Structure 1
Amino acid sequence: MTITDHPLVKKYLAAVARESAGLSPERRNELLADLEEHIAVALAEGSAFGDDEIRAVLARLGDPRTIAATALGEELPAPQTSRGRTLALLGLLASTGPLMFFPPVLVPALIGAIWWLWAAPQWRSRDKVIGTVAALVPPLFVVSQWVVPAGAVNLGLGALFLPFALAVVALPAAAGVYLLRTARRPA
């Protein structure tokens, strides 16, 4: 049994964990790991591991509420995101599909949507990559049609060309729905 498995230490750390529930999970785990290490070092300096020594070390650390309040005061507030800004971004992203037929408007809309998407804090990097790829597929499809020789404009799709083109146009809208569902809600 390690010293951090001692009932008094477990009770103390559980109290700190309970009081610091407002912290992000990463910050709370870091705080608890730091406390465990501090307790282990403090008790290693002494030769005995009796209840009195453990109580003395825990008393020197301070009240769990005070520790949690200090940690909560140090944590930066989560970035606030409004639902309106999220919907505006997703509308811009979804519009890049139909705008593929209007390149002068598409280019600034596409650049703005991708920049705004990557600046938004409510999505993970994976979700941002999905949104970026979905926004880039329609213009890349149009470019591919210009690059392919005139006799092969339909890329060998034949009768499936029109449904395929419509799916390409709809892809950014589908990505917008996905991003709306995966957005982290503001605190």
Structure 2
Amino acid sequence: MSNALTHPLVRAYLASVDTEGAVLPDDRRRDLMADLREHIESVLPQGADDAAVQQALDQLGTPREIAAAAIAEEPGVKPLQPEGSVRTTLTLGMMVLAAPFWVLGIGLVLAVLAAVRIWRSTAWTRRDKRLGIICALSPLLVIPAAAAPFAFARGLGSAEFIGIFLIAMVIPLAGAIRLGHSAARLHPHAA
């Protein structure tokens, strides 16, 4: 690998193209990245200064433009589109707040609604959507698994219930944070 690919501007550029092209199928994204690396290596001499590197990258186009062109060539693939922050916050809030309400039966409804909203969203890749849905529905397994030791040992009191539901909130909260970061990168003022 030449110095051209290890230059910080090139690494940042390639990472940005990879992020922008996250909706592409994995094999297509790998091909795109390999082609870009090969092209950059061919046009940049070893030891190129920052100005030469920036000029070569500017001639390629922005990472968003490159990813958009690749996405346009791929049938059935749509680019990620930002959603309103209120919609995203509502979806992620339902995801996290579902856990404490499982005991009332409302939690399941909230988790399913969050899962449907995540799946229908235009702000996340399929991978992010799968992760979000798994996290939203995780209390289905976490609550019984966390309750079993207490039930067999000494029974379930109010303190144990609170602890179990706090434990059940950890996975949805981590998933919501991840999805929040993914959605924020689509907004121009984010980051």
Higher RCO structure (Cα 8 Å, ≥6 apart): 1
Higher Cα radius of gyration: 1
